[in-house]
A = this chain, B = another copy of it.
Amino acid sequence: MLPRGRPRALGAAALLLLLLLIGFFLFGGDVEYGRPRGAAAVDGDPSADRGGRNRSDCVPPRPPLPKCELLHVAIVCAGHNSSRDLVTLVKSVLFYRKNPLHFHLVTDAMARNILEMLFHTWMVPAVRVSFYDVEELKPQVSWIPNKHYSGLYGLMKLVLPAALPPELARVIVLDTDVTFASDIAELWALFAHFSDEQVIGLVENQSDWYLGNLWRNHRPWPALGRGFNTGVILLRLDRLRQAGWGQMWTLTATRELLTLPATSLADQDIFNAVIKEHPGLVQPLPCVWNVQLSDHTLAERCYSEASDLKVIHWNSPKKLRVKNKHVEYFRNLYLTFLEYDGNLLRRELFGCPSPPSAGAEQVQRALAQLDEEDACFEFRQQWLTVHRVHVTFLPHEPPPPQPHDVTLVAQLSMDRLQMLEALCRHWPGPMSLALYLTDAEAQQFLRFVEASAVLSARQNVAYHVVYREGPLYPVNRLRNVALAQALTPYVFLSDIDFLPAYSLYNDLRASIEQLKLGSERRAALVVPAFETLHYRFSFPSSKAEVLALLDSGSLYTFRYHEWPRGHAPTDYARWREAQTPYRVQWAADYEPYVVVPRDCPRYDPRFVGFGWNKVAHIMELDAQEYELLVLPEAFTIHLPHRPSLDISRFRSSPTYRDCLQAVKDEFHQDLSRRYGAAALKYLTALQQPRHPA
């Protein structure tokens, strides 16, 4: 702003005058400016503000940044892997953004399931998300033969003007394989450079593909010079609709397809063909807004000069493994956001009034009401934390629907990854596993699975990442995430340190069928739990072997030494003899591993860290009058491990115990509220505080 006082008025006047001048100089020559020339586009960079050139002069004026204006971004995304890419892209956008954003996501069912949950739990202020069903749009493009690896999804960008809400006038369209290194508002601001007839903003292609001289008989689609890359697009939707865009591109595509077999680069071929016909439609964007790292890229021309990269585009099928002199630099930028703690992006916007999402507001209010002096402050804080959840983080095939199928449900953090291979060997059936990880650990986990033949061979194991936040392990929240994502009618509620009998998966399905579980009787099947304290241990292949090991003292009933109450009601003596399932009664502190219908009660998320988390769940099953049926042949064995940090902490801290007691009391009050007199027996159970399991 100008210094105050009279001279400034004068100054302002003079400036106004000058601006008109500038405007004339700059935009008089629109045609020249409008013609794509890599170099020209670079030099003409109207947003270059750090090149160190044109410092002291002041044209071209940087377009006004749209302060607090809501910016719209459209992305096409399908499948598990693209969903992960999209998250990294969004993180890079959020890191630099200063405006409210509205993401318009054109997705398949898988991506929608993942991303809806992710954004819902991410709760980023001033971010809205809308979903559009890719299936509904497919018919409009499925007639186009296409050879590009993006398949039909690439072509979807053509139909956005019709697919997005009619009142939406402008949108930035992004591929999932781009990474931002700057504020997206600077890109949005380039709409200001559009002349009245321009409708599409694009960066010139940074390869010679469209010049058609890459190899003999290389016949690309028609394009202006090098053509344009469609990884980053500015669309004036309003004008495209007026101009009858749908008809326009369909005509061009149809005509070209008379002589060309198929599109090689999906939508990009068609956009370029249309632009070749109507050069006036395109506003060339500075190359820094789409630095293309394909093989043989000419991108260096662009960025070697510009010290200021804005958007990087991994538009090679090789992605990060692409060969490029500077790829290390780009990879670091990409990894920055790949591993960036997404929780840190839950920061409000300054300057712009941005009402927090309904959910966020509740949480904020609840958190604000907490008393920092309360000994259990940390705990209550943890209960209130909403963790970001990325379900089916890796590719996963839903199990074929079978009436008696059962999913193993468990949760773990990084220090238990080594259990996964053994678990896969013991349990061939479907699994739903919640992993408590940081963003960086999620990437280590990804590499771990890729490196393991056993794990990467399995399609029926669903991994759900719950992102770390807060000091305590949210064990029951994790269980609920895994439980909610189980797709079979029954679930085996297990823990990661247990290996089930090799035959358990088949035995369970048989028992479920025999006992008509769920359909006719409301029951929980108890799988007796044992433990070995030995490291080297040959896993028993039958009940007979289990009994032998018990007698030889190399196997114990679970927690036999320090917490027998936890499993005593299973009545191991009876199990030794049992030939058929037998019923047992609930008792205080009972916490068996059970098989129940998927619609069983959820775990109480207030139990965090260590202690009593399963006990409460079994209590609720009993309150809902689930029969407890012990299976005569079933068993699962706990392997030894160092105590987790949470446990060591529990053991050392009296506060921890007191807070746990507090939760137990609250839990029981709720129980009485919901089950009335029936819940009385739990009160008596609760009233003798004990070292909990």
Contact = CB atoms under 8 A, between A and B. Distances in A.
B351 A307 contact: yes
Contact of A5 (B32, B183, B304): B32
Interface string A2-23: 1111011011101110110110
A54 B1 contact: yes
A1 B44 contact: yes
Interface stretch (A60-68, A599-607, A658-666): A60-68
Contacts of A355: none
Contact of A350 (B3, B307, B332, B447): B307
Contacts of A654: none
A436 B636 CA distance: 35
A589 to B, nearest CB: 21
Contacts of A70: none
A43 interface: yes
A374 interface: no
A33 B7 CA distance: 13
Nearest to A22: B11
A641 B640 CA distance: 8
Contact of A417 (B1, B54, B64, B645): B645
A185 B336 CA distance: 22
Interface in A292-347: 303-309, 326, 328-329, 332-333, 335-336, 339-341, 344-347
Nearest to A330: B347
A569 to B, nearest CB: 24
A197 to B, nearest CB: 19
A55 B49 contact: no
Given A305-B351, A534-B534, A640-B535, A64 B55 contact: yes
Nearest to A69: B52
Given A11-B22, A44-B1, A649-B451, A307 B352 contact: yes
Contact of A58 (B8, B18, B309, B648): B18
Contacts of A305: 351
Given A53-B1, A67-B307, A329-B347, A18 B14 contact: yes
A164 interface: no
A61 B2 CA distance: 11
Contacts of A66: 52
A149 interface: no
A578 interface: no
Contacts of A50: 65, 67, 98, 183, 185
Contacts of A56: 19, 61, 64
Interface in A410-448: 414-415, 417-419, 421, 438, 440, 447-448
Nearest to A561: B536
Contacts of A448: 645
A430 to B, nearest CB: 24
A350 B61 contact: no
A65 B52 contact: yes
Contact of A98 (B44, B307, B340): B307
Contacts of A536: 533, 561
A57 B16 contact: yes
A57 B438 CA distance: 45
Interface in A218-248: none
Contacts of A539: none
Nearest to A351: B307
A116 interface: no
Contacts of A400: none
A348 interface: yes
Interface string A463-495: 000000001000000000000000000000000
B55 A58 contact: no
A370 interface: no
Interface string A267-310: 00000000000000000000000000000000000011111110
30 contacts: A1-B43, A3-B26, A3-B32, A3-B33, A3-B40, A11-B22, A12-B57, A15-B58, A18-B58, A50-B65, A50-B185, A52-B67, A55-B63, A58-B59, A67-B307, A98-B307, A306-B351, A307-B352, A326-B348, A329-B348, A329-B350, A336-B340, A414-B414, A415-B415, A417-B645, A418-B645, A418-B648, A448-B645, A533-B536, A640-B640
8 tightest Cβ-Cβ pairs between the two chains A and B: A52-B67, A55-B64, A58-B58, A11-B25, A307-B351, A332-B344, A15-B57, A329-B347
Interface of A: 1-5, 7-8, 10-12, 14-16, 18-19, 21-22, 25-26, 28-29, 32-33, 40, 43-45, 49-68, 98, 183, 185, 303-309, 326, 328-329, 332-333, 335-336, 339-341, 344-352, 414-415, 417-419, 421, 438, 440, 447-448, 451, 453, 471, 533-536, 561, 640-643, 645, 648-649, 652
